[in-house]
Structure 1
């Protein structure tokens, strides 16, 4: 079964997030390194106000779908993974929250 990594950027008042850099520089960098390592697809979601007009707790999410947990673990601890983490300050002044898990069902 596939494995998902969800990367969440908090929606704090002072957060800076450069979506253009993220989509046109950071994600191509990640894709070049991790597509062959097992990334099947990725999606970037920009959250807007909720239906109740409350500020959502997260501003941006990136959901990366991997072939399996083994490929994710190998790539994320591999020799080039530091590049992706060191690039974060280029597009955000906040460290993201990483949440991962096995896909147990889908529709």
Structure 2
């Protein structure tokens, strides 16, 4: 399996300056924004994506987590992601205000090993 670059797009639980709680339209995010991301970034090397949501309060700690929605997009390389942002980022950036009142924080990292109980899957993301 080839090397993957993980682009983590995380939506903070509160706006960094106004401290207003995150408002997030998951229905539009799934039906409108993510298809737009696929169209805009897919031709430039985006391989897959996954979304995690975190409840507030956290069922383990009772506290509000720092991020409530986190999407990971996997690319073949950091260079592929840079090209995707350059070629398809303007439209996708403008669309954020349609579903969120808080702009996301973005991290770039390596997609490492993953596993399933009972065995290591190897590099990348688990296969469904």
TM-score past 0.5 threshold: yes
Give the drift of 1:50: 4.2
Deviations 1:10-43 (A, max 9, x none): 1125221000000000000110121121111101
Give the drift of 1:102: 2.6
Instruction: Note the aligned Cα RMSD (angstroms).
Output: 1.3
Indicate if the aligned counterparts of 1:50 and 1:56 stay in contact, CA closer than 8 A: no
Residue 32 (structure 2) aligns with: 25
Q: How far apart, CA to CA, are the structure 2 residues paired with 1:47 and 1:30?
A: 22
Indicate if the aligned counterparts of 2:11 and 2:102 stay in contact, CA closer than 8 A: yes
- Tell me the matched-pair count: 105
Segments of 4+ in structure 1 off by > 6 A?
none
Residue 12 (structure 2) aligns with: 10
**TM-score normalised to structure 2 length:** 0.76
SS at match of 2:43: coil
- Choose the corresponding residue for 2:94, options 86, 100, 105: 86
Indicate if the aligned counterparts of 1:45 and 1:61 stay in contact, CA closer than 8 A: yes
Q: How far apart, CA to CA, are the structure 1 residues paired with 2:95 and 2:46?
A: 19
Unmatched tracts of structure 2, length 5 or more: 15-19, 115-128
Q: How far apart, CA to CA, are the structure 1 residues paired with 2:8 and 2:83?
A: 17
Structure ID, larger Rg: 2
**TM-score normalised to structure 1 length:** 0.90
Residue 41 (structure 1) aligns with: 48
Residue 75 (structure 1) aligns with: 84
Unmatched tracts of structure 1, length 5 or more: none
- Larger mean Cα displacement after TM superposition, 82-91 or 12-21: 12-21
Matched, 1:99 2:101: no
